[in-house]
Amino acid sequence: MPKATKAKRTRKDITSSTETTKDDANRKYAAKSGVSPAKLSESEQRLLTAPKFLWYKPNSWKYRPPVPQYKPLPKARELLWSVLQQLWMNKNLFGGIIIIYGVLDIILVRGLSYSTNLTSFKNTIDHNFTGTEGKVATTALTFGYLLSGSGSSQAAQSSVYQSLLLLIASLALIWALRQVTTGRTVRVRDSFYQGMYPLVPFSLLFILLGVQLLPLAIAGGMYSAVLTGGIAVDIWEKAFWLLLFIGLSLWSLRMITATVFALYIVTLPDMTPLRAYRSAKQLVYGRRLLIWRKFIFLPVVMVLLAAVVGLPLVFFAAPLAIWIFFILGIVAVPIVHGYLYNLYRDML
């Protein structure tokens, strides 16, 4: 009996609140149209006005829900500094993970003759330039060659091993970050033992991320081909291909914005890739431009740091520079995951 009474009261409250909202809407409509609320017809007494389709307004083609009131996100530099502090406070845990990842990368992917390709490349282009300007050009080209990763092994087996190692290290780092954020003390082996259970859903989203980057890769290849092949000669032709490249790049960036965060959502228990992707799309809805600013900040800082460290090494000791870059690349993996994971938590 008490339960039935409570249910009746609940329905009554809901009905009364709905009628109040409807009366308010009718009152506003009557005031706007200049007719008293009592003289409104039944068809005119409505709660919401259906949106009109206008062919010249793209916003009216599809209904878009209102953007929620999100809490402000931290500044990118503050977020990066907090991530560095978090990693340093747990340096034994994250250091052990990246050491295992680096050793396996050397054994399975790069090999001990890693610096041979870079030395050969520098010696080849060094003969084409002379003087001080030639040294600067050689250093800049060698640095670009180093950043592109062209000095690494290009075997198909090595690429497969590298992708697999990156997936395993990413899962271990994400699991460790989640445990550290909740205040738990974990060991390195726990990250690899317990963090591997969402390998299949994580791999599916990782493949989706690669597919979403295809427009960017196709646009880059087309733009490079038309410029180097002499296809685009006039200014308007170059402007057209440049706009096409920018458009496809923004399309890829828009798609991967949700997928990046879905990679962290899918590591939750009993989570499927589709549910994770839908949750990530709701998470980034209405604030993609703000998230892009956070995305761009991190690679810019890392490239500047690589230039400060790498350019002197390339100029004076090229064989040593490639190993320093290898260490920096390994260290960058937990920094990137920590940055994105903490950004994801701040967006919740």
Domain ranges for the chain, please list them. 17-64, 76-114+152-347
Assign 72 a pLDDT band (cuts: 50, 70, 90): confident
Q: Which has more confidence, 101 or 119?
A: 101
Residue 49: predicted pLDDT? 52
**Mean pLDDT on 299-313:** 84
Percent over 90 (pLDDT), the chain: 28
Select, from the ranges 153-162, 221-230, 270-279, the one with the highest average predicted confidence (pLDDT). 270-279
Rounded-to-integer distance, Cα 286 and Cα 38, Å: 40
List of residues 6+ apart from 108 with CB closer than 8 A: 158, 161, 162, 165
Residue 149: predicted pLDDT? 61
Rounded-to-integer distance, Cα 202 and Cα 115, Å: 33
Question: SS3 of 273, please?
Answer: helix
Residue 314: predicted pLDDT? 74
Residue 50: predicted pLDDT? 52
| Residue 82, pLDDT above cutoff 50 | yes
Structure token digits, residue 105? 């990368």
| Residue 257, pLDDT above cutoff 80 | yes
**Mean pLDDT on 247-258:** 91
Structure token digits, residue 125? 């282009």
Estimate to the nearest angstrom the gap between the alpha carbon of 255 and the chain centroid.
10
**Mean pLDDT on 155-159:** 61
List of residues 6+ apart from 146 with CB closer than 8 A: 118, 310, 314, 321, 322, 325
Within 10 Å of residue 10's Cβ, how many Cβ atoms? 10
| Residue 231, pLDDT above cutoff 80 | no
Angle at 161 (CA atoms; ends 203, 207), nearest 5 degrees: 25
Q: What are the helix (H) ranges across 1-153?
A: 2-33, 76-89, 91-105, 116-126, 131-147
| Residue 335, pLDDT above cutoff 90 | yes
**Mean pLDDT on 140-161:** 64
pLDDT in tens, 16-62: 444 445 555 555 555 555 555 455 454 444 444 555 666 666 666 66
Across all residues in the chain, what is the average pLDDT?
A: 78
Q: Give the least confident one: 69-73, 194-198, 251-255.
A: 69-73
| Residue 14, pLDDT above cutoff 70 | no
Residue 309: predicted pLDDT? 81
CB crowding 126-141: b at 16 or more within 10 Å, else e: beeeeeeeeeeebbeb
Look at the chain and count its residues. Answer: 348
Within 10 Å of residue 331's Cβ, how many Cβ atoms? 14
Structure token digits, residue 45? 């007494």
